[in-house]
Structure 1
Amino acid sequence: MININGELIQESDSNSSTENRGYKYGDALFETLKVVNGTIFFWEDHYFRLMASMRIMRMDIPMNFTMEYLQAEITKTLEANSLISSTARVRLNVDRGFGGKYLPTKAAQVGYNIRVEAYSNPFYTIDDDLSYEVDLYKDYYQAPGLLSGLKSNNKALNVMGSIYASENGLDNCLILNTNKTIIEALNGNLFLVKGDKIKTPPLEDGCLKGVMRKQIIDILSSDVNIYFEEASISPFELQKADELFITNVILGIVPITKYRKKIYGNTFAKATLAKLNTKLRLG
């Protein structure tokens, strides 16, 4: 069952229209959520990011789009799919509805849909035996700007990069901006560890304003034993790093084990993950 504007229907009966602006122009935003036993991880951060993104996109936010209303709709969808007492991956999609070419008509109204699927692992873990190899994706570059940090339906670069990774036997790729600095991975934010110095690209470089990125920054910023900064990362720095890891809400922290001929450890990533899991338990 999927939820379209509050109505639960079979996906086969959804009849998604090709006239929807999300389909026609990518005029849509989405949040990917991890839910365990009915609890949405970092729901408040997801909600406020979505609201901020809708304002940037000049969407008219419906009056009923409160945090409580959308949470209730997500719960309703999970219950309809018998996933309320297990682990699920949820996609909350918001679009501008129907009407207009590039310019929306005044009749275009914001709508939403919610799709859920079972997910196997309720915990954030790191597998020491997991090999995770990456390389740079240099066919296309991301232009820095306010729109580049949005989780929108315009993900052509990520799609092309994923195809490239698959064709070259890679687990992921790192994306560069037009200034040729690294901004993120195809499916998450990037952190670099060198000694007691840790950094991640700043939002101004064009990376996604990730919800898990925010959690990790909060953890790192409170540790007086390390030096953390948001600063540009050049490809040259990758070879000198002790560790690289990717963050997203579904997987938590994913250590990179290999970039070209460079092999990395995961000691700092594992320690940070332990702090993240403690934060979740306390929250």
Structure 2
Amino acid sequence: MINLDGKIVEEKDAILSVRNRGFAYGDSVFETIRIISGKIMFWEDHYFRLMASMRIMRMEIPSSFSPEFLEKQIIEVIEANNLETSPARIRFAVYRLQGGYYTPATRDIGYVITAEALENSFYLFNDGNYEVELFKDHYVNSGLLSTIKSNNRAVNVLGSIFARENGYDNCLLLNEKKGVVEALNGNVFLVKGQVVKTPPISDGALNGIIRKQLVNILKKTEEYTLEETSISPFELQKADEIFITNVALGIQPISKYRKKTFENKVAKELLSKLNVKARLG
């Protein structure tokens, strides 16, 4: 079952026009949200990021789009799919209504919410082999558009194909200044000694929900120093650890980059603290 503009419908009946602007021009933004036993994880952060993304895309935000209203829309999808007591993954997509070419005929929006079951309620630690490489065929441009989750993910798609064709689990993306920005599916953190680095949003990094949680956790710890700073590719092989973060997986340690293998001690510590935050809401 799917929520299409506030109506719960069967997936086969959830029809979008071929002229839909999300399809035709990538004129759409979305949030990937994790649900635990009917409770939305980090909902406030998701809500404000969605509103910021819509503003950046110059979409008209309906007056009804309060946190309470959108939360109700999500919960209705969860209940319609009998996922009230199961972990679930939500995709909340907002698209501009059709009309016009590059210049929209309207700034009004529609939305669609889908749900699928997940295996585990909380984040599990994956310490298996996970090898990455740089994707250098195309770059992420620094700026506001790169910080939001939009349907324009061509670099991520092409990088994912490159990774699969070459036997890698993931790739790290570069911006036009040749700095490491993020992974194909999440933010990236680098550990060297007691210093934990992550690229700043101004470099073009996604304004990730789990990134924000870990930044807040690290700022409160005495063991580590957080630096939001540009990361050069040359730093990767000198790091003690590198890990990727996103809402679906939590924290994914990288085990190998080229000839360098990495530890995962800090990633494991942070995942434990992240799960505590998730339980507390």
* TM-score between both structures, scaled by the size of structure 2: 0.98
Q: Distance in 2 between matches of 1:278 and 1:4?
A: 33
Q: Distance in 1 between matches of 2:79 and 2:166?
A: 40
Report the count of equivalent residues: 281
Q: Distance in 1 between matches of 2:280 and 2:13?
A: 42
The answer to whether structure 1 residue 61 and structure 2 residue 61 are counterparts is: yes
1:121 to partner: Cα distance: 1.3
1:123 to partner: Cα distance: 1.4
Q: Distance in 2 between matches of 1:248 and 1:111?
A: 26
Partner of 1:114: 113
Equivalent residue letter for 1:252:
G
1:84 to partner: Cα distance: 1.4
Spell out the pairing of 1:247-262 with structure 2 (5 A cutoff).
247-262=245-260
Conserved? CA contact 1:190–1:246, under 8 Å: yes
1:16 to partner: Cα distance: 1.5
Spell out the pairing of 1:100-249 with structure 2 (5 A cutoff).
100-106=100-106, 109-128=108-127, 130-249=128-247
1:282 to partner: Cα distance: 3.1
Q: Distance in 1 between matches of 2:76 and 2:280?
A: 26
What whole-Å deviation, never above 9, does each CA across 1:224-259 have from its counterpart, x for those lacking one? 232111001111000000000000011110000000
Partner of 2:44: 44
Q: Distance in 2 between matches of 1:81 and 1:281?
A: 23
In structure 2, the residue corresponding to 1:64 is in which secondary structure? coil
In structure 1, the residue corresponding to 2:238 is in which secondary structure? coil
In structure 2, the residue corresponding to 1:92 is in which secondary structure? strand
What whole-Å deviation, never above 9, does each CA across 1:42-83 have from its counterpart, x for those lacking one? 010000001011111111100111111111011001111111
- How big is the alpha-carbon RMSD for the aligned residues of Structure 1 and Structure 2? 0.9
Identity %: 57
1:143 to partner: Cα distance: 1.1
Q: Distance in 2 between matches of 1:112 and 1:242?
A: 43
What whole-Å deviation, never above 9, does each CA across 1:191-242 have from its counterpart, x for those lacking one? 0000001110001110100000000000001112321110011110000000
Partner of 2:98: 98
Q: Distance in 1 between matches of 2:15 and 2:78?
A: 21
In structure 1, the residue corresponding to 2:182 is in which secondary structure? strand
Partner of 1:29: 29
1:280 to partner: Cα distance: 2.3
Equivalent residue letter for 2:54:
M
Conserved? CA contact 2:126–2:253, under 8 Å: no
Q: Distance in 1 between matches of 2:126 and 2:53?
A: 34
Q: Which moved more, 1:97-106 or 1:162-171?
A: 97-106
In structure 1, the residue corresponding to 2:171 is in which secondary structure? strand
Q: Distance in 2 between matches of 1:201 and 1:109?
A: 34
Partner of 2:13: 13
Equivalent residue letter for 2:7:
E
Conserved? CA contact 1:183–1:205, under 8 Å: yes
Alignment counterpart, residue 263 of structure 1, candidates 257, 261, 264:
261
What whole-Å deviation, never above 9, does each CA across 1:73-120 have from its counterpart, x for those lacking one? 1100111111111011110000111111111113x5211100111111
Equivalent residue letter for 2:189:
F
What whole-Å deviation, never above 9, does each CA across 1:159-191 have from its counterpart, x for those lacking one? 000000000111000000010010000000000
Equivalent residue letter for 2:132:
V
Partner of 2:82: 82
Conserved? CA contact 1:253–1:269, under 8 Å: yes
Conserved? CA contact 1:98–1:109, under 8 Å: no
Equivalent residue letter for 1:72:
K
Conserved? CA contact 2:26–2:152, under 8 Å: yes
For structure 1, list consecutive stretches of 5 or more residues without a partner in the other structure.
none
